[in-house]
Structures are given as structure tokens and as C-alpha cells.
Amino acid sequence: MELISKYPFLKKILNYKLWGIILLIGVLLQLLGFYFYSYHSFTIFSGILFLSVLWWLIYFFVRNKSVKTKLVVNSVFIALLVAEILLRFIGSTSTYMERRVGFYESSYNLKNASYWINRNNKKISKTGEEFNFYRECNSMGYSDKEWNWKDMKSKTRILALGDSFTEGDGADADSTWVKFLERKIKDTSFYFMNGGICGSDPVFELYKLQHIFLQFKPDIVVVCINYSDIQDVLFRGGYERFKPDGVKFKRGPWWEPIYAMSHLSRLFFRLKFNQSLIAYNAYDREQEKSLSIIKTTIDSIKQLSDNNSIELVFVFHPMKESVKEGKNPFKEVIEELNDEDISTINLFEYYSKPEIVSNINDYYWVKDGHHNAKGYKLMAEGIYEGFFEHYILIYEKLNN
């Protein structure tokens, strides 16, 4: 009290109502940011805001209590604030997007969900802690040369579809698996098209093939699938995501805004929920649903390809941890496809060669998890070998 009497301006600074107004403005700004920017957090400020609101609410009930009580409340929240900051610096509760770009982004509540069927980027910077690669996009928004019908019409057109591993995240534009395969084949009668987009999934590939790429009359379509596709479908659902008013994903849990703001809260949420915000006891069931949707989507892509005289092959490729652990989440799906005479290339088996497994860290970025240039070259070599195994059109063309 003596300090406040000596410095009157402190009374205004410590005014409870004033802080209530400031925090209310902060909450409104955060909620607007969440609504328009897919739950983007304002880095450390979101955590401070969350704890400050809690402090303000509790302080409301103790503001007329003893100085000792107030001191305890303030001490507790200072400790919580320090813990929040430490968790953010340590990164143990951070999501992939936070580690990659510095902020939380919801996998459910995306405002630009139509991005994967209507991308209009002109330039892309593939940035991570371990790399920074710049790309020029063609007029359709893809990381590739301009697709000119005059150049391709008399050639065998090979279209690659997939996510970041097909677009080539983690490497220069000339070091994607598509480019490595093109150079390995060394045949100018082939025209390669890279239709990969970071974050895409098989359901989007079906839509894009039907509504975007059929105009180019591809002869061969290579669809790449990996474990992240199971996760993506889990968040997004199947073909029902395409609505008359745009693309709509499944809704996340009601408490996701709290999870997005506070790393400290994640310690409690993760007692019951995993990083996909799904209860541990329900996760296996949800993964099975995702695999079922992927299998149904593969059948639809096959039917569409057959109706348009397209040679089709599905490439299943592993993440680094899958290679180390010797686990293939698509094992049963691949067996079903082989029974149905649908061409598959199982890179899980290709990567399981002793000389590859023993040096697996050489093919992926350590923290980011994407292939580096050496990894994309390995991926291209596995796909090249798989083409011959399945006797698809490219095999016949190469042996004429």
C-alpha cells in the first residue's frame, strides 16, 4: 500500500477492471484469429492470455480476501506461466505445425479446405528448421513446369499424385522423385506431370483426377500413399467432404481452442487424448475407418481409370519410423489390392533391404521427417523397379 501511495500510477496499472477490459479485448482478438485462421495461435502470447484469463477469473473471488491469499494466487499463476513458457521452449507438447512453422493450426477446422482442389499459388517456399527451398508454380498452382498440351499430346503422359512426398517437400524442385524417375528413364517420349500437393490425401486425388487432370488425358497415373494419409482422412472424412458450398472437414472437439492456446493444458488433455485429439481407446477404431475409406477411394480411382483407359499404379511408401520398426500399416490393404489385380508398388519392402535400413537416417531429414534429395532418389528407384514388376504400360514402352 505504501508503494501505491508513493507511486499513484501503480493504482491504475494494477486496476482489476482495467485488466478485465484488456483481457476481454485479447480474448476477442484471439477468437477472431481462431475463426479466420484455423485456430492459429499467437505463439507464446496465446498461452499467456489463457493463463491471464484464468488468473483474472479466480482473482475475482479472492480480490477482497487477505493479502496472503492474493499472494498465493499470484504465486501459483506465476509458476504456471513459467511452466507454460518452458514447455514451449522444450517442445515436448508441440504439434508438427508448431515445430515446422511456429504456430498451431487445426487439422479439423481449416478455413481454406478447398486449397487442395483449387490451389492458385505462384510461388512456394518450402521452409523448415533444416531446409529452405523455393519453388515456382505453374498457372494451375502446382510445383512443376507449365503443362502445355502441344508438348504432351504426342507423348506418353505420366501423372504423379500424392502429398508432400510427391510435391517434393524437403528438396529442390529438380530433386523430387518425379524428376529423378524422369532422368532415370531417359526417354523423351514420356511427359511427366507432378500433381502432388503438400497435405493432400487419396480422397483429394480422386477428386482432382476426375475434375482437373482428365483434361490432360494421362496414360499412366501413379498415386502415392503413406501413413499421413490415414491421419488426414481421419480428420477430414471421405468423399462427403465435398459440399455444394465448398470443402468441409469433420469438426474437432469443443475444447480444441484451449488445446491450441495452452501447452500446459495439453499435459492434462493427453492423459486421455492423443495428438489427433482422439481418445486413446477410440483411436484404433478411427484408424480402421480411415483405412476403409482409403480402400474405397482406391477402388473408385481404379474404376475411373478403367473408364478412361488409364494405366494405374498405387505406391505405398514408408515414413522413417515405419522402416526402423518394420511396420506397414497398409499390409492388409496391399494384399486386398493384389487379390483384385490392382497394381501396387510396396516401398515398405523395397526400403527393408539391409543396406537401406542400416542407413535409413541418410534418406530423411532428422527433425522434419520428409525425404531429403537422397531419399527422393531412393523412392524413384523403388518406383522404377516396381514398374517392371507389374508389367504396366511403361514396361512395354521401355522394352520396344
Confidence of residue 249 (pLDDT cuts 50, 70, 90): very high
CA distance 50 to 254: 16
Q: For residue 246, what are the β-bridge partners?
A: 243
Residue 23: all three cell numbers together: 483481457
Q: Where are the alpha helices (DSSP H) in 273-346?
A: 280-307, 320-325, 331-339
**What value, to the nearest 5°, has the Cα angle with vertex 57 and ends 3 and 94?**
105
Q: Which residues are CB-neighbours of 129 under 8 A, at least 6 positions away?
A: 99, 100, 367, 368
Residue 144: the pLDDT is 95
C-alpha grid cell, residue 101: 512453422
Cα 152 → chain centroid: 32
Spatial CB neighbours of 344, under 8 Å, sequence gap ≥ 6: 313, 314, 315, 316, 334, 337, 338, 390
Lowest mean pLDDT among 96-105, 132-141, 391-400: 391-400
Measured distance CA(160)–CA(222) in Å, rounded? 5
Q: 254 CB contacts (<8 Å, ≥6 apart)?
A: none
> Which of 39-43, 91-95, 141-145, 294-298 comes out lowest in average pLDDT?
39-43
Task: Round to whole Å and give the CA distance between 259 and 39.
Answer: 10
* C-alpha–C-alpha distance, residues 208 and 140, integer Å: 12
Report pTM: 0.88
Share of the chain above pLDDT 90, in %: 59
Q: Which of 71-80, 82-91, 126-135 has the highest mean pLDDT?
A: 82-91
pLDDT top residue among 168 and 100? 168
Taking a C-beta distance cutoff of 8 angstroms, is the pair 11, 4 a contact?
Answer: yes
